């Protein structure tokens, strides 16, 4: 699709550093070779084969420092699809790599041939009969799984810092563990069974009663080899003892050789080997997990110590007291985390020699909770702590907000340090484990080594398990920096193995970075056993060559990615992928990470590159037009990178001067626009939907699909012409009726009052009356212009609205209550950069209140429910997440309904003002999972608090979504 740009080439970058060494060569500009594309399309269908160069580039990066551009991307939907791809690879001598979330830190999700996306169509969770085990699709994120499990008082055992983004399949494939899993609550210990597609195409359900017989019939040589290796290992007592000893620490280096000691049958051995195999032995198509108790009661402390040794000395004390988690952060880590939202600014001034422990106790009963608090404080009282810790008795807290801040800072370690790295540098994240008793020694040795090699030293980790993490930043485009990195890795690995007998990879799996050092850790005998495992399961070498086993001693220095400088708002991105699960366009076009990855590829190219030409041909629709601009990515990103804002800036860049002036004229005449749109909606009520859809579709083709809305049947009729009559005298607040509620009526068959009438009635009923200004028409939160990048119109409306609000509220004396969450966000926050200096000062005095907050905090305590509905499902909008008032929506819903459901997949609906009418496919894709959940249930009410989002949700579900305030008015209406 063309860019629809009146200024051709407006988005073309101008690289300043010349072509990068890892740029996509010109001959690949057309994408997948025709023969490969056609062969896969013939067997899989066109919708499952991605072949444009933009498709290939956006899948070329993961969270690691490596970059490989695939030849083709297959979006697999079934195990049959996976088997078909594997068969094609075997028959044509090709390689296959599986990719789910792409949060792997060592290049496990990258390949230079056939890459298979196994995230999109592989979600879902089913509690099994015992309510302790769960069947989980491999594309389900740990975060989503835990939302479902928490309803049954359960959780996943593994809890990596990337839980909101990483998938269950990836966690199993890497044996990722995290803060509390250690060696007992990881995938290897808790995976009850799995279904795996072997490289041969054979599908094995390890839980099937006849699984061993089926495997023996289908793969007799494989069964014989696995059982033969088991006998060989068991016959060598020294080797068996060494294997057992290696897994007393956290260890994900190589294949799980203890599977041969723990498994009695070939199927049991296979189950164990698949954990941590990183997609090199087969595809994990389904998992069944033993879950762990939720233990809702926590007490948590962030304790600051004068130095690392004193912090490390406290670790065994808390372990002995029963702490579930003990996390270490050194001074540089704490200083870097000051960039994380919510973290106190004074962390920037913490002395570098200081260190901190984040300690948490968890319990399921009040008695155990009190016992934990006593035990925790008893340990803390004997420690030498430094500021900013308060008194020891106050150190352990239970407040959810404070605890969230502590954990958010710890989980943001990688991205916070990554944000602080010099622009243009690649970030490498490594982890290792040593005996916990030698934690301080290992920390000091690592910090000394980092300083000696000229790296900014920063260490954090799971101290309770002797597991440390560190990051290195260097410019992969400079050979001398690559050589420095290589020398550091040689010395580091020798230190871990020879000095500490530790694990080179504690929880991130071997990946590409540690393959040359695997034999140094395991020895020749054990390493050769791993090669024999690979040969037995993948004799044709189809799956992920070089990821776990590699005989090239320089393998870790190949395919390192450069990070060219891009727009400042996104340049700190380390491509971790934390943003992707909340992106409305993640299953339609591109994600925030991919938008950035594509931009960086343009910067790697020369100005007249044909690769850039092809990337720009796709970027307009795939990146710019189908970005909802909701900035949910900013919330998900630990360091607040707002890719949505970058896309809005790109929209602005594509506008010509005439387009900007026309948008400003619309802002100036917005009162007339309101009247015209209401009139058009009134006419539309009497016209068939199919005719309206046809007319608007033709108009979109003639004008622009990014400017002309498309009619959808969920669009309601017009709102009433007149707003409720109110009085200024005695008003507790000024009521700003958002333009969407001045234009659109509520859902057909909904409540008998309009939303403005309901809010006025509720406020009067609670003794907190509101006043609706008579000159409200023509005012707006400016999102209409802001979301499309029309800066002049945005600035005009932003300043008009603040000037009027200043008069309405008597200089900020009264709060301004806004009845649409997106408009509350717009007026309260998003308009600020576009205000004049005088109006910025006025805005600082205004108190903008979302109607949800007004109702929950000012009205609800003064209202009595006369009746309630049986059940309700709610849709928290992205603006509610930005404003932090999702809790208020929930509390209001629980007031009006006996049972309230929040869908597991409730995220931004992608309607984004009017973008859902410009690109209805965006809303339909963004809400697919949520809509499936909603339609599967039966509810008496469908509630939100943003009219356009309600229209979007009605469009995809067919259910009448309405503001929770409408129902609140009805259930509190005196009989």
User: Which DSSP helix (H) or strand (E) runs through 472?
Assistant: strand 467-474
Say whether pLDDT at 6 is over 60. Answer: no
Say which DSSP state 517 is in: G
**Which of these, 916, 913, 947, lies nearest to 742 by C-alpha position?**
947
Structure-block tokens of residue 28: 């690949």
Question: Of 467-471, 720-724, 927-931, which one has max mean pLDDT?
Answer: 927-931
- How many Cβ atoms are within 10 Å of 356's Cβ, its own excluded? 29
| Residue at token pair 């307009």 | 620
Say whether pLDDT at 703 is over 70. Answer: no
Position 133 scores a pLDDT of 98
Position 340 scores a pLDDT of 85
Q: What is the pLDDT of residues 370-385, one digit of tens each?
A: 999 999 999 998 898 9
Say whether pLDDT at 3 is over 50. Answer: no
pTM: 0.95
Position 392 scores a pLDDT of 54
Position 456 scores a pLDDT of 81
Question: Mean pLDDT throughout 674-689?
Answer: 88
CA distance 31 to 46: 15
Say whether pLDDT at 270 is over 90. Answer: yes
Position 4 scores a pLDDT of 40
Question: Mean pLDDT throughout 506-522?
Answer: 95
Q: What is the pLDDT of residues 337-376, one digit of tens each?
A: 888 888 888 889 999 899 999 999 999 999 999 999 999 9
Q: What is the pLDDT of residues 550-581, one digit of tens each?
A: 999 999 999 999 999 999 999 999 999 999 99
Q: 712: helix, coil or strand?
A: coil
- Per DSSP bridges, beta strands 114-117 and 72-75 are parallel
Say whether pLDDT at 389 is over 80. Answer: no
Cβ 954 vs Cβ 910: under 8 Å: no
Structure-derived torsion over alpha carbons of residues 699, 705, 707, 709, reported in degrees to the nearest 10 = 70
Q: Kindly report which listed range (495-504, 686-695, 782-791) carries the lowest average pLDDT score.
A: 686-695
- Residue 818 sits at the vertex; the CA angle it makes with 813 and 822, to the nearest 5 degrees, is 135
Structure-block tokens of residue 294: 């939720």
| Residue at token pair 């795939």 | 622
Cβ 724 vs Cβ 770: under 8 Å: no
Write the DSSP assignment of 3-38 as a string of letters: ---SSTTTT----SS---TTPPPGGGTT-S-HHHHH
Q: Please, which pLDDT band fits residue 702 given cuts at 50, 70 and 90?
A: low
pLDDT exceeding 70 applies to what percent of the chain?
Answer: 98
User: Mean pLDDT, the chain, as a whole number?
Assistant: 94
Q: Kindly report which listed range (554-563, 579-588, 679-688) carries the lowest average pLDDT score.
A: 679-688
Question: Mean pLDDT throughout 750-777?
Answer: 96
Say whether pLDDT at 2 is over 70. Answer: no
Position 459 scores a pLDDT of 87
**Which of these, 402, 325, 322, lies nearest to 357 by C-alpha position?**
325
CA distance 866 to 888: 20
**Domains, in order of start, for the chain:** 1-20+566-640 (no CATH), 39-293+509-563 (3.30.465.10), 297-507 (3.40.462.10), 670-678+687-857 (no CATH), 863-971 (3.40.50)
Q: Please, which pLDDT band fits residue 889 given cuts at 50, 70 and 90?
A: very high
Helices 220-235 and 211-218 cross at an angle (nearest 10°) of 110
Structure-block tokens of residue 686: 């009497």
Looking at the DSSP assignment, which residues form a beta bridge with residue 736? Answer: 818
Cβ 530 vs Cβ 257: under 8 Å: yes
Q: Please, which pLDDT band fits residue 802 given cuts at 50, 70 and 90?
A: very high
Q: Which residue has the higher pLDDT, 334 or 689?
A: 334
Cβ 160 vs Cβ 51: under 8 Å: no
For residue 248, count CB atoms less than 10 angstroms from its CB and return exposed for 0-12, middle for 13-18, buried for 19 or more.
exposed
| Residue at token pair 């580039």 | 57
Position 15 scores a pLDDT of 85
Q: What is the pLDDT of residues 83-94, one digit of tens each?
A: 999 999 999 999
Q: Please, which pLDDT band fits residue 388 given cuts at 50, 70 and 90?
A: low
Position 707 scores a pLDDT of 64
- How many Cβ atoms are within 10 Å of 87's Cβ, its own excluded? 15
Write the DSSP assignment of 595-607 as a string of letters: HHHHHHHHHHS-T
């Amino acid at each position: 699709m063309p860019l629809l740009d009146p200024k051709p080439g407006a988005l073309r970058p101008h690289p300043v550093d010349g072509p990068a060494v890892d740029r996509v060569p010109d001959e690949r500009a057309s994408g997948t070779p025709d023969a490969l594309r056609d062969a896969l399309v013939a067997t899989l269908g066109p919708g499952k084969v991605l072949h444009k160069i933009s498709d290939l580039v956006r899948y070329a990066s993961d969270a690691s420092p490596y970059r490989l551009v695939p030849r083709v991307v297959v979006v697999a939907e079934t195990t049959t699809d996976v088997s078909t791809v594997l068969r094609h690879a075997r028959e044509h001598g090709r390689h296959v790599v599986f990719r789910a979330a792409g949060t792997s830190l060592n290049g496990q999700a990258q390949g230079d041939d056939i890459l298979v996306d196994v995230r999109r169509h592989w979600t879902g969770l089913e509690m099994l009969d015992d309510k302790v085990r769960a069947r989980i699709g491999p594309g389900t994120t740990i975060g989503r799984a835990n939302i479902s499990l928490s309803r049954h008082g359960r959780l996943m055992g593994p809890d990596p810092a990337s839980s909101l983004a990483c998938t269950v399949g990836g966690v199993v494939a890497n044996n990722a563990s995290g803060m509390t899993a250690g060696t007992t609550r990881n995938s290897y210990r808790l995976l009850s069974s799995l279904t795996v597609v072997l490289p041969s195409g054979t599908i094995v359900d390890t839980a099937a009663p006849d699984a061993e017989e089926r495997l023996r019939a289908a793969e007799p040589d494989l069964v014989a080899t696995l059982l033969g290796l088991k006998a060989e290992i068991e016959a060598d007592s020294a080797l068996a003892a060494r294997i057992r000893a290696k897994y007393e620490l956290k260890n994900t280096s190589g294949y799980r050789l203890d599977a041969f000691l723990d498994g009695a049958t070939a199927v049991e051995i296979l189950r164990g080997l698949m954990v941590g195999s990183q997609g090199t032995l087969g595809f994990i198509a389904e998992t069944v997990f033993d879950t762990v108790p939720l233990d809702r009661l926590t007490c948590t402390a962030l304790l600051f110590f004068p130095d690392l040794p004193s912090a490390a000395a406290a670790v065994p004390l808390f372990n002995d007291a029963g702490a579930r988690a003990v996390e270490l952060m050194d001074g540089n880590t704490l200083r870097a985390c000051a960039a994380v939202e919510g973290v106190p600014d004074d962390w920037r001034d913490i002395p570098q020699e200081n260190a901190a422990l984040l300690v948490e106790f968890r319990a399921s009963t009040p008695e155990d909770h009190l016992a934990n608090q006593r035990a925790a404080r008893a340990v803390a009282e004997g420690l030498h702590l430094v500021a900013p810790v308060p008194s020891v008795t106050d150190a352990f807290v239970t407040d959810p907000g404070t605890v969230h801040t502590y954990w958010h800072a710890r989980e943001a370690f990688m991205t916070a340090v990554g944000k602080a790295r010099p622009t243009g540098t690649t970030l490498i994240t490594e982890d290792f484990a040593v005996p916990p008793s030698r934690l301080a020694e290992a920390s000091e040795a690592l910090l000394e080594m980092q300083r000696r090699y000229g790296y900014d030293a920063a260490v954090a980790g799971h101290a309770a398990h002797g597991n440390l993490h560190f990051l290195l930043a260097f410019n992969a485009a400079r050979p001398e920096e690559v050589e420095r990195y290589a020398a550091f890795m040689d010395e580091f690995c020798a230190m871990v193995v020879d000095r500490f007998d530790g694990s080179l990879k504690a929880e991130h799996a071997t990946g590409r970075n540690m393959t040359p050092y695997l034999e140094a850790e395991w020895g020749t005998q054990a390493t050769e056993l791993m090669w024999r495992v690979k040969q037995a399961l993948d004799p044709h070498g189809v799956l992920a060559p070089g990821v776990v086993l590699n005989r090239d001693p320089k393998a870790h220095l190949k395919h390192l990615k450069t990070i060219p400088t891009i727009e400042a708002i996104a340049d700190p991105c380390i491509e971790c992928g934390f943003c992707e699960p909340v992106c409305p366009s993640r299953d339609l076009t591109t994600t925030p990470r991919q938008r950035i990855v594509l931009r960086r590829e343009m910067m790697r190219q020369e100005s007249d590159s044909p690769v850039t030409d092809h990337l720009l041909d796709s970027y307009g629709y795939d990146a710019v037009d189908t970005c909802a601009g909701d900035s949910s990515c900013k919330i998900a990103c630990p360091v607040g990178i707002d890719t949505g804002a970058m896309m809005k800036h790109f929209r602005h860049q594509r506008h010509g001067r005439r387009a900007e002036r026309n948008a400003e004229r619309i802002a100036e005449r917005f009162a007339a626009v309101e009247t015209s749109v209401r009139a058009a909606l009134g006419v539309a009520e009497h016209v068939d939907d199919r005719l309206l859809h046809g007319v608007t579709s033709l108009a979109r083709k003639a004008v622009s699909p990014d400017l002309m809305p498309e009619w959808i049947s969920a669009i309601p009729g017009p709102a009433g012409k007149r707003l409720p009559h109110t009085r200024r005298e005695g008003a507790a607040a000024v009521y700003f009726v958002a333009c969407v509620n001045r234009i659109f009526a509520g859902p057909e068959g909904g409540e008998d009052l309009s939303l403005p009438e309901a809010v006025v009635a509720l406020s009067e009923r609670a003794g907190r009356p509101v006043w609706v200004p008579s000159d409200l028409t023509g005012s707006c939160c400016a999102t209409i212009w802001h979301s499309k990048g029309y800066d002049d119109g945005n600035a005009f409306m932003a300043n008009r609205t603040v000037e009027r609000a200043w008069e309405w509220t008597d200089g900020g004396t009264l709060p301004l209550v806004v009845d649409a969450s997106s408009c509350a966000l717009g007026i309260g926050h998003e308009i600020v950069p576009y205000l004049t200096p005088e109006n910025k000062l006025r805005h600082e005095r205004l108190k903008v209140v979302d109607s949800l907050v007004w109702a929950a905090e000012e009205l609800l305590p003064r209202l009595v429910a006369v009746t309630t509905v049986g059940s309700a499902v709610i849709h928290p909008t992205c603006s509610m997440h930005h404003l932090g008032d999702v809790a208020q929506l929930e509390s209001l819903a629980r007031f009006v309904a006996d049972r309230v459901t929040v869908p597991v997949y409730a995220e931004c609906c992608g309607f984004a003002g009017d973008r859902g009418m410009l690109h209805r496919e965006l809303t339909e894709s963004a809400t697919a999972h949520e809509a499936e959940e909603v339609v599967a249930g039966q509810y008496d009410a469908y509630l939100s608090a943003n009219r356009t989002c309600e229209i979007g949700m009605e469009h995809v579900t067919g259910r009448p979504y309405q503001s929770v305030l409408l129902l609140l008015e009805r259930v509190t209406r005196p009989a």
